[in-house]
Amino acid sequence: MQKKYKRWECGNDNIMNRMFVFGDSFVDNGNSNFLETVANADYLPYGMDFPLRPSGRYNNGKTFIDALGDLLNITAFIPPFFDPSTKGNHTIDGANYASSGSGILNETSSTLPPKQGCTTKEEGTAIDPIMKFLSFGDVKNPCCQVVSTEDGGNDTLCTKGGAMCKDRNQFLFFDGLHPTEAVNVVLATKGFNSNLTSDVYPFSIRKFTEIWCHHL
C-alpha cells in the first residue's frame, strides 16, 4: 500500500519542516482517542496499513496531512495535540489539533446525527468536488464492513474486526465517509504539484514553498 513520492527540498535544507493542523475526522491523527467522543477509530481495520497500526486515523493508512508531510520532507508524523505526551520538544514538528466532529462553533458536534460525530456521505464530504478527477475502481462502496442504521450501526464507521476489501488501492472510501490512503496520496500530490485552478487555488503548495524560500 505504500506509495513513493517525489520529495521536495528548499536548497539543501528542509525549510517547511513543521505543520500546525486544524480540521475534523478527515485529518484527525489520534486526538479523538483522548477526547469524549463516540466516533473513535482506534481499532482494526482502521490503521491496518499504517506503520503504527490503529492510531485514531479514520482510514487504512495515512491521512492527507501525512502524505503532504512526506512531500514536504517532514521526517516525523505530526503529533496529536491532545496526546498527553505531546508537549515541550515533542511539538518541534508542529501539532495536529484536528478531531472528529470538530468545527468553528462549540456546538458543532452536538448538531451531528446520533452516534456519529461525523457527517454522513449523503450530507456531502470534502472530496465530493474533486471526485471526478480521481480514478478508482469503486467510488461508491466502503472498503470495510459498515453497519447500517437499520441494523443498529451508524452507516459510517467500520465494524470492529469486520470484513475488508482485498484491494484498498481501488476504493475511494475506506469506511462510510472517509477516503482510503490511496485517495489521500492522490489529493496531497495534486495539492502539492498541480497548476490547475480546478485542483488548487490560488496556487499549489509547491508554489507557496518556493515563494517562502525566495523571501528567506
Q: Can you tell me which residue has the cell 517525489? A: 6
Torsion sign over Cα 136, 173, 55, 84:
positive
Average pLDDT for consecutive 10-residue bins of the chain (216 residues)?
49 68 96 88 96 95 96 89 85 87 58 46 53 78 93 90 94 96 95 92 91 75
For every residue of 158-185, DSSP letters joined together read BPTT--B-S-GGGEEESSSSSBPHHHHH
User: CA end-to-end span of the chain, whole Å?
Assistant: 37
Range 152-185 burial, b when 16+ CB lie within 10 A, else e = ebbbbbbeeeeebbeebbebbbbbbbbbbbbbbb
Kindly report the number of other CB atoms within 10 A of residue 136's CB atom: 17
Per DSSP, helices labelled H in the chain are 64-71, 181-193, 205-214
> What pLDDT does 24 receive?
94
What's residue 23's pLDDT? 95
pLDDT at 98: 95
**Cβ atoms of residues 18 and 74 within 8 Å:** yes
Closest residue by Cα to residue 25 from 139, 127, 136: 127
Give the model's pLDDT for residue 61.
97
Residue labelled with grid coordinates 493508512: 61
Cell 508531510 belongs to 69
pLDDT confidence of residue 106: 53
Cβ atoms of 57 and 28 within 8 Å: the answer is yes
Entry pTM: 0.82
